[in-house]
Amino acid sequence: MIGGLDEMNIMILLPIVLPVIVGFVLLFLPERVFKSRQSLLNVTGVSFIVCALLALYVISGAAGDRLVLFDLVGSIPVYFAIDSLGRLFAGIVVLIFLMAGFFSFVYMAHEKNEKRYYSFYLITFGVLMGLDFSGNLVTMYLFYEFMTLASMPLVLHSGTREAVMAGLKYMFYSFCGAYMALFGIYFLNQYADTLDFVAGGSLNMEAVVQSGNTQLMLIVAFLAIVGFGVKAGCFPLHAWLPTAHPVAPAPASAFLSGIIVKGGVLAIIRVIYYCIGADFIRGTWVQTVWIILAVITLLMGSSLAFKEKIMKKRFAYSTVSNLSYILLGLSMLNATAFVGSLLHVIFHAIIKSALFLFAGALIFSTGRTKVKDFVGLGKKMPVLFASYTIVSLGLIGIPPTSGVISKWYLAVGSLESGAGALSWIGPVALLVSALLTAGYLLPISIRGFLEAPADASSLEKYKEPPLLMLAPIVILAVLTLLLGVYPTPLIDWVGTIASGLL
């Protein structure tokens, strides 16, 4: 041991600490250090690749699986532990971090304060690694709060009044939700055998029953779900998401919508399935209200997306809806629905990131932001619009794309839940939402490929976006297809995680 750190496992720290250090160094370096924009991009690109490789090294298990830093209060340690769930979330973070990061090298050319953007982008990546690798509830909560602070500058990057207000709204909602969850951590510390993440939960039921605080612990569980559900855009505290995402730069929106919101999902899984235990809330009013809130959010998000005319805001409302697919599956408290939720975490991260990058590519190339303005552009940008169409089919859930796999497991898991009338309301809501999703995504492809503008000459100046912007979108579209055609290894891996919990 060196200063309380295990020499063999110290590598676990590197993908957490190094991006944060590099981000702060980059932030405070004077502009004159970089003689050109290209030198800034070279340094940033190398940093991205090194940080991603270190994260993959830890995810592979080569760095060990546990590292204790210090005791925060009494016998409560701050430490990192690498398990299958953390590996899954961290792997998705690495993928989207690289795709949105390299996309930004072209997109951010027309934005101010580019160095600051890359700084906070790196810091946020390091914080997310800490969140994914957290070994107990206290460590996770610390990095959950850091995630809000690190990602807020990405929201208010442009510095406009709208962006600043959106950033403040994002922070206010996130902190309010986190404080609700913190209230629950106090009680879990009293009635749980440990705050470590234990498959199936660590709540001491005998102690809860003897104290007569069963209803209090149910309230604690509900507050944790609602509190952490804020980050996942769950009704009634969802309003920050469609405000914050559209004002951020497109690659930041991709990272926020694909990854940051999943932090709330991870926190709910950790609290309910690894601390409290699914058995404690199964069949109670907490499960019932959770299902109802998920269904309301699911339908509301799809409906608002269907009505929205501005593309990025439409995609933001879509995120509200699709995050509730995940929460709906988790609320069913059975293995099949849980598998569906984790699969949708992966598929949604890939698809929604591609959608926001598509929006960014169009804004960069044409300056157009409204859906009605994309008439005929598909013929000028066939690769871009074809990739968009593929990921759109994935979000709708049309074979052979990946979205159909997760939605199938969610629907079957809902029917198997034994939740009475709510067990069939879930599949009905999924079907209605899929129809609405088709209604707000496919018209963009139809207008782009099949409609002709009144003045064809107005499109002559447009062409495919630069390769560094186009390649990440194509890669994500290809993944959407591949994971739909060959999902078995992923399903088996996620099924192993579910079988250890339920």
Q: Which residue has the higher pLDDT, 201 or 24?
A: 24
Distance of alpha carbon 383 from alpha carbon 112, whole angstroms: 29
For residue 7, pLDDT over 70 is answered with no
Using only C-alpha atoms, the chain has a radius of gyration, in whole angstroms, of 22
pLDDT digits (tens, 9 = 90+) for 432-488: 999 999 999 999 999 888 887 767 677 778 888 999 999 999 999 999 999 999 999
Closest C-alpha among 174, 102, 186 to residue 137: 186
The region of weakest confidence among 90-94, 114-118, 180-184 is 180-184
Work out the average pLDDT over 16-20: 96
> Angle at the Cα of 213 (from 212 to 218), degrees rounded to 5?
140
Contact 201, 277 (CB under 8 A): yes
Contact between 13 and 67 (Cβ < 8 Å): yes
Q: Confidence class of residue 8 from pLDDT cuts 50, 70 and 90?
A: low
pLDDT surpassing 60 at residue 327:
yes
Mean model confidence pLDDT for the chain: 89
- Calpha distance 134→90 (Å, rounded): 11
**Residue 466 three-state SS:** coil
Rounded average pLDDT over 237-258:
83
Q: Could you read off the pLDDT of 181-190 as tens digits, one per residue? A: 888 888 888 8
Query: Six-digit token pair at 311?
Result: 């593309």
Tell me the average pLDDT across 313-327. Answer: 90
Residue 407 has pLDDT above 70, yes or no: yes
Do 228 and 271 form a contact (C-beta atoms < 8 A)?
Answer: yes
b/e sequence 304-333, b meaning 16+ C-beta within 10 Å: bbbebeebbbbbbbbbbbbbbbbbbbbbbb
* Dihedrals phi, psi of 399, to nearest 5 degrees: -60, 150
Which contiguous run of DSSP H or E holds residue 73?
strand 66-73
Contact 133, 63 (CB under 8 A): no
Assess whether pLDDT exceeds 80 at residue 239.
no
Residue 348 lies in a domain: yes
Q: What is the count of structural domains for the chain?
A: 1
Please name which of 348, 342, 354 lies closest in space to residue 322, comparing C-alpha atoms.
348
pLDDT of residue 461: 80
Return the closest-CA partner of residue 137 out of 60, 220, 214: 220
Distance from C-alpha of 297 to C-alpha of 290, rounded to nearest angstrom = 11
Structure tokens that stand for 207 in this block: 């102690």
Task: Specify if 1 maps to a domain.
Answer: no
End-to-end CA separation in angstroms for the chain:
36
- Residue 310: which region, alpha, beta or left (left: phi > 0; alpha: psi -120 to 50)? beta
pLDDT greater than 50 at residue 2: no
C-alpha span between 6 and 18 (Å, rounded): 18
Residue 80: its H or E element:
strand 76-81
Task: Let me know if residue 271 belongs to a domain.
Answer: yes
pLDDT at 1 over 50: no
The pLDDT value recorded for residue 140 is 94
* Max mean pLDDT range (15-19, 145-149, 300-304): 15-19
Q: Which residue has the higher pLDDT, 234 or 501?
A: 501
30-45 pLDDT, tens digit per residue, is 888 888 889 999 999 9
Is 261 part of a structural domain of the chain? yes
Confidence tier at 176 by pLDDT (50, 70, 90): confident
What was the pLDDT predicted at 3?
Answer: 42
Share of the chain above pLDDT 90, in %: 57
Q: Is the dihedral of CA 157, 251, 226, 243 positive or negative?
A: positive
pTM: 0.93
The pLDDT of residue 4 is 47
pLDDT surpasses 70 at 497: yes
Q: Looking at residue 238, what is its pLDDT?
A: 74
Here the tokens at position 244 are 């914050």
Q: Are 413 and 340 in contact (CB under 8 A)?
A: yes
Residue predicted with more confidence, 338 or 200? 338
* Domain-embedded: residue 2: no
Q: Taking the CB of residue 33, how many other CB atoms lie within 10 A of it?
A: 11
| Domain hosting residue 449, numbered range | 7-499
Mean pLDDT of 350-378: 89
Cα–Cα nearest to 476, from 349, 297, 368, 350? 350
Structure tokens at 348: 């949604």
Contact between 327 and 267 (Cβ < 8 Å): no
CA distance 195 to 203: 9
pLDDT at 6: 53
Split at pLDDT 50, 70, 90, the class of 191 is confident
Residue tagged 């807020």 (tokens): 152
84: number of Cβ within 10 Å: 12
Q: What is the DSSP string of 232-283?
A: TT-TTS-THHHHHHHHS-HHHHHHIIIIIHHHHHHHHHHHIIIII-HHHHTT
Percent of the chain with pLDDT over 70: 97
Looking at residue 203, its pLDDT comes to 87
Count of C-beta atoms within a 10 Å radius of residue 403? 29
Any alpha helices (H) in 108-160, and if so which ranges? 114-132, 137-155
pLDDT digits (tens, 9 = 90+) for 150-174: 998 988 887 788 888 888 888 888 8
Is residue 317 a contact partner of residue 324, using CB atoms and an 8 Å limit? Answer: no
